[in-house]
Amino acid sequence: MAERTQKKVKKRLLSAVVLALAVFSAASAGVFARTSESENDEMTKEISVTEIGPLRIGQTENKQAGTGCTVLISEDGMCAGLDVRGGGPASRESQLLNPLMSAQTIHAIVLSGGSAYGLGTANGVMDYLEEQGIGFDVGVTKVPLVAQADIFDLTVGDPSVRPDAAMGYEAARIAFEEPNYQDGNYGAGCGATVGKIAGMETCMKTGIGSYAIEIGDLKIGAVVVLNALGDVYDWKTGTQIAGLLTEDKTALRSTLDYMKASANVVTENKFTGNTTLAVVITNAKFDKSQLCKIAGMAHDGYARSIDPVHTSADGDSIYAVSVGDVAADQDLVGALGAEVVSEAIIRAVQNAESAYGFPAALDLHREEYAGLRGADPAQ
Cα R_g (the chain), whole angstroms: 24
Q: Tell me the domain boundaries of the chain.
A: 54-373
SS3 183: coil
For residue 377, the model assigns a pLDDT of: 32
The pLDDT tens digits of the residues spanning 175-216 come to 999 999 999 999 999 999 999 999 999 999 999 999 999 999
pLDDT grade for 262, boundaries at 50, 70 and 90: confident
Contacts of 42 (CB under 8 A, 6+ apart): none
Q: Return d(Cα 148, Cα 115) in angstroms, integer.
A: 11
CATH class of 54-373: alpha beta
Q: Return d(Cα 327, Cα 348) in angstroms, integer.
A: 30
Q: Return d(Cα 328, Cα 218) in angstroms, integer.
A: 7
Q: What is the mean pLDDT of the chain?
A: 87
User: Which is higher by pLDDT, 274 or 91?
Assistant: 91
Q: Is the pLDDT of residue 264 over 60?
A: no
What is Dmax (Cα atoms) for the chain? 106
Q: Return d(Cα 280, Cα 298) in angstroms, integer.
A: 8
The pLDDT tens digits of the residues spanning 104-133 come to 999 999 999 999 999 999 999 999 999 999
Q: Return d(Cα 128, Cα 144) in angstroms, integer.
A: 9
Q: Return d(Cα 340, Cα 365) in angstroms, integer.
A: 23
Whether the CA torsion 130, 221, 311, 64 is positive or negative: it is: negative
Q: What is the DSSP string of 262-313?
A: TTT---S-S-S----EEEEEEEE---HHHHHHHHHHHHHHHHHHEES-S-TT
Q: Return d(Cα 244, Cα 36) in angstroms, integer.
A: 38
Question: What's the full length of the chain, in residues?
Answer: 379
Burial code (b: 16+ CB inside 10 Å, e: under 16) for 251-269 equals ebbbbeebbeeeeeeeeee
